[in-house]
Amino acid sequence: MSAKIPVAVLAATGSVGQRFVSLLDGHPFFEVTALTASDRSVGRPYGEACRWLLAEPMPAWARGLTVLPTTPENLGVQIAFSALPADVAREVEPCFAQAGIWVCSNASAFRREEDVPLLLPEVNPEHIELLTFQQQRRGWSGGILTNPNCASTGLTVALKALQQSFGLKRVLVATLQAASGAGYPGVPSMDLLDNLVPYIPGEEEKLEWEARKMLGQFTPEGVRYDEVALSAQVNRVPVVDGHTACVWLETTQPASPEQAAAALRAYRAPALAADLPFTPRPPLLVREEADRPQPRLDRNSGGGMTTVVGRVRADALLGLRMVILSHNTIRGAAGGSIYNAELLVKTGRVKLPLSGAVSML
Ligand SMILES: NC(=O)c1ccc[n+]([C@@H]2O[C@H](COP(=O)([O-])OP(=O)(O)OC[C@H]3O[C@@H](n4cnc5c(N)ncnc54)[C@H](OP(=O)(O)O)[C@@H]3O)[C@@H](O)[C@H]2O)c1
């Protein structure tokens, strides 16, 4: 019997799916036993069906796995990491949950439902308890838990530290989002090279409500959204990985740049999520240099799980301004889902097969 929990990656051939395969290689809790994708790839060896885009080599165990159809039947897994397109996720993910599988989803399809946790474990791990409400309400023996849009991720981690110390009133955000956020092949190179595209469908709306749900108060029947007012403008830029956000904000209690930087630096994940393998160490890194963070230099901080903040300074209109960077396919996608799945283990919803591994928790 394996000492690890068998897991599947749904849409394993895509940009986020590959990150899952790479990040799950050697994970202490999880062993990938199934990879799925679309009809284009089903029946082919993963090494052949997948156009591998990462610098790290494809793990040897993945290369020979036959790509399976995206259905729960006979998968034999307890957790499915979903990198499905949102329209496919809406149809398929409930079938997995009904079949007793926990779906850790990157897709936007269920994020806004009142019984579905939208999780960043270093921000709101207690929201995972919505799964009890979800199972009762939908009669599922599994469930769906989601991570936010990749651009909401770093923003929300930084906002949480400031909300906790000073309270939040108003936030303006302008993003500079990497090409990989659009999947592969994504935006045509002729549209993006020597250019910037000031529009990403649906993204501004997500930025304006997702942080409010995650910063909100948990109740057993849903989350009371935080009342902070958010306004977002998004841009796609010719960067491969790493989303940058330029942020202006007004806190409830006045805070100097030094006090804000100290609060960001001191922030730690709540105890429930503080000691898991994918816990960002540290959750927030504050850079002092005048020209940081930069995507190429800073996106891999903390293995791509740490949110990097810089240029924390006074603002004449709202009080504070800063620049926030987060790795979109690691913290903002696959790494985030893996951290969510670790929280499933930590809260006892999924059990490690052999008790020896429990000592890691
Ligand atoms: N990229 C990011 O930074 C990011 C961040 C957060 C969330 N997300 C979300 O994560 C999801 C995946 O994004 P991505 O960037 O990885 O996209 P992508 O590179 O375009 O990959 C799409 C994947 O979906 C599979 N697929 C398409 N139709 C399918 C079907 N009917 N049944 C099963 N599999 C199907 C494809 O399989 P084939 O190869 O077989 O066609 C491929 O594996 C999306 O919901 C996206 O919004 C992405």
Tens digit of each residue's pLDDT (9 = 90 or more) over 53-64: 999 999 999 999
Closest residue by CA, ligand 1 atom 21: 14
Q: Is 118 left (phi over 0), alpha (psi -120 to 50) or beta?
A: beta
Q: What is the pLDDT of residue 361?
A: 57
Same domain, yes or no: 124 and 238: no
Do 107 and 225 reside in the same domain of the chain?
Answer: no
Q: Which atom of ligand 1 is nearest to the CA of 16?
A: 16
Residue-wise pLDDT for 69-113, tens only, equals: 999 998 999 999 999 999 999 999 999 999 999 999 999 999 999
CA dist 166 and 253 (Å) reads 5
The best mutation among 10, 15, 326, 340 to test binding of ligand 1, ranked by most ligand atoms within 8 Å of the C-beta, falls on 15
pLDDT at 1: 62
Average pLDDT of the chain is 96
The model's pLDDT over 302-325, given as tens digits with 9 standing for 90+, comes to 999 999 999 999 999 999 999 999
Interatomic CA distance for residues 55 and 49, integer angstroms = 18
Nearest CA to ligand 1 atom 20: 183
- CATH number for position 56: 3.40.50.720
Closest ligand 1 atom to the C-alpha of 18? 16
Mean pLDDT in residue range 333-353 = 97
Which of 106, 111, 237 has most ligand 1 atoms within 8 Å of CB, for mutation? 106
Question: Are 124 and 218 members of one domain?
Answer: no
22 and 132 both lie in a single domain: yes
Q: Which residue of the set 50, 104, 127, 243 is catalytic? A: 243
The pLDDT value recorded for residue 220 is 84
225-229 long-range contacts, CB within 8 A, separation 24+: 226/163, 226/168, 228/159, 228/163, 228/168, 228/169, 228/170, 228/171, 229/169, 229/170, 229/171
Closest among 19, 35, 26, 1 to 277, alpha carbons compared:
26
For ligand 1, the distance from its centroid to the CA atom of residue 89, given in whole angstroms, is: 10
Residues 142 and 291 reside in one and the same domain:
no
> Full-prediction pTM beyond 0.75?
yes
Could you tell me which residue, 14 or 358, shows the higher pLDDT? 14
220 and 167 in one domain? yes
What's the token pair of residue 255?
């805070």
Q: pLDDT tens-digit profile of 110-151?
A: 999 999 999 999 999 999 999 999 999 999 999 999 999 999
- Residues 30, 179, single domain; the answer is no
| 17-38 mean pLDDT | 98
Read off the pLDDT of each residue in 143-161 and give the average, rounded to a whole number: 98
Q: How confident is the model at residue 360 (pLDDT cuts 50, 70, 90)?
A: low
Higher pLDDT, 360 or 165: 165
Question: What tokens were used for 113?
Answer: 């439902």
User: Of all atoms in ligand 1, which is nearest to the CA of residue 19?
Assistant: 16
Closest Cα to atom 29 of ligand 1: 38
Domain of 311: which CATH number?
3.30.360.10
Tell me the average pLDDT across 29-55: 97
From the alpha carbon of 183, which atom of ligand 1 is closest?
15
CB-defined site of ligand 1, < 6 Å: 11, 13-17, 37-38, 40-41, 70, 83-86, 88, 106-107, 150, 180-181, 183-184, 328-329, 332-333
Closest by Cα among 5, 1, 43, 8 to 27? 5
For residue range 223-281, list pLDDT tens digits in order: 999 999 999 999 999 999 999 999 999 999 999 999 999 999 999 999 999 999 999 99
User: Which helix (H) or strand (E) element contains residue 219?
Assistant: strand 217-219
Residue nearest (by alpha carbon) to ligand 1 atom 4: 181
Residue 339 confidence (pLDDT): 98
Same domain, 203 and 340: no
Whether residue 118 sits in one domain with residue 42: yes
Are residue 167 and residue 74 in the same domain, yes or no? no
Structure confidence at residue 221 as a pLDDT band (50, 70, 90): confident
Is the separation of the CB atoms in 154 and 331 below 8 Å?
A: yes
Q: Which is catalytic among the residues 50, 127, 150, 327?
A: 150
For ligand 1, the distance from its centroid to the CA atom of residue 167, given in whole angstroms, is 36
What is the 8-class DSSP label of residue 360?
Answer: G
pLDDT at 216: 98
Number of domains in the chain: 2
**How far away, in angstroms, is 226 Cα from ligand 1 center?**
30
Pocket test for ligand 1, best of 10, 35, 38 (most atoms within 8 A of CB): 38
Looking at the fold, whether 21 and 58 belong to one and the same domain comes out as yes
CA atoms of 221 and 129, how far apart (whole Å): 10
> At CA 146, angle to CA 303 and CA 13, rounded to 5?
65
- Phi, psi at residue 286, to the nearest 5°? -100, 120
**Catalytic residue check, 243:** yes
- Give the model's pLDDT for residue 355: 57
User: Which residues form the domain of 201?
Assistant: 150-327
Same domain for 192 and 223? Answer: yes
